[in-house]
Amino acid sequence: MTISAAPLPRAAEPPPTGAAAKGSRWPAWIILFVCALYFLLPLAATFYWSLRAEKGTLGFEAYRRLFADTGFLPAFSESIVNAVVAIFLSLLIIVPTAYWVRLRMPKLRPVVEFITLLPFVIPAVVLVFGIIRLYGRPPLLLTTTYESSRVLLVCVYAALSFPYMFRSVDNGLRAMDVRSLTEAALSLGANWVTVLRDVIFPNLRVALLSGALLTFAIVIGEFTIALFMAQHTLGPYMANLTRSKVYEPSAMAIVAFAITWASMGMIAYISRERKHP
């Protein structure tokens, strides 16, 4: 903003307004530009490629072919089902645990937190290695059929979501001061079902949704574990696509990016309207 100085006798010159007044910002712009270039170029190139399926014109032929491919929808829906089940499983286990640890057994907290950090310590490829060896032989032989392997897969996904789910729910519980709310509700005569249903869950909505969306984004495109457990989910399907087709993989990549973006965007959106849970 340009402010004119009053006509008072003054010895010094006012500094030039604009860049020098605020401190120059061009280094920040350069950094942003370079990074934007690095990140947007692959996405732009992929998008451009995905439009070139039809010779000579730019169109969405690649996307049409993708959605028409016999393998796509089954793989996609299988991934979605896996994700949803994993989310529910994770919620079912994490929410009571987080609540319990916060209210009844605070001393267990370090242990629980440590366990939820395990997915960061055990890389996916190592974990699937262990899963296959543990459940590939008697007495815990569970990998003989596709369905039983799938159950294993979903359980592993739920476990992999623990760090995000726990941190989300834990933060949510802390923000809503769950102890005071519970005590207030109980002292007013509510029973535990009412407490959970009318006090806890409504205030946790945002945290639960955030955790669920994060889990969804992770499960949907997961590749390593699905590959080694011979599952026909989106991850291995995409890998096959890369080997067999030319244009569909680019459409696939864009779709995957869009899905991830939608999930993250929704998390940002619901976190923003936090003022009125």
Residues 97-156 that bind another protein (CB under 8 A): 97, 99-101, 104-108, 112, 115, 117-134, 155-156
> At how many degrees (to 10) do helices 72-103 and 201-220 cross?
140
Between the two ends of the chain, the Cα-to-Cα distance in Å is 39
Question: CB 194 → another protein: shortest distance, Å?
Answer: 18
Rounded distance between C-alpha atoms, residue 96 and residue 84, angstroms: 19
For another protein, give the closer residue by CB, 90 or 203: 90
Rounded distance between C-alpha atoms, residue 68 and residue 225, angstroms: 26
Residue identified by tokens 């005590």 is 183
Question: CB 19 → another protein: shortest distance, Å?
Answer: 11
What is the sign, positive or negative, of the torsion defined by CA atoms of 237, 240, 246, 250?
positive
Report the site for another protein in 246-265 (rule: CB under 8 A): 249-250, 252-253, 256-257, 260-261, 264-265
Binder to another protein among 21, 68, 81, 184 (CB under 8 A)? 21
Return the closest-CA partner of residue 102 out of 32, 183, 35, 28: 183
Question: CB 246 → another protein: shortest distance, Å?
Answer: 10
Number of residues that bind another protein (CB under 8 A): 94
Region binding another protein by CB under 8 A among candidate stretches 77-85, 89-97, 188-196, 201-209: 89-97
Return the closest-CA partner of residue 236 out of 214, 247, 220: 220
Binder to another protein among 67, 209, 224, 277 (CB under 8 A)? 224
Q: What three-state secondary structure class fits 147? A: helix
Question: CB 5 → another protein: shortest distance, Å?
Answer: 5
Question: CB 50 → another protein: shortest distance, Å?
Answer: 8
Report the site for another protein in 159-218 (rule: CB under 8 A): 159, 162, 217-218
Question: CB 274 → another protein: shortest distance, Å?
Answer: 15
For another protein, give the closer residue by CB, 45 or 58: 45
58 lies in the binding site for another protein (CB under 8 A): no
* E strands, the chain, in order: none
Question: CB 70 → another protein: shortest distance, Å?
Answer: 19
Binder to another protein among 18, 59, 74, 96 (CB under 8 A)? 96
For another protein, give the closer residue by CB, 145 or 187: 187
Cis peptide upstream of residue 139 (ω within 30 degrees of 0): yes
Pull the structure tokens for residue 111. Answer: 């242990």
DSSP classification of residue 200: I
Q: What is the number of helices (H) and of strands (E) in the chain?
A: 15, 0
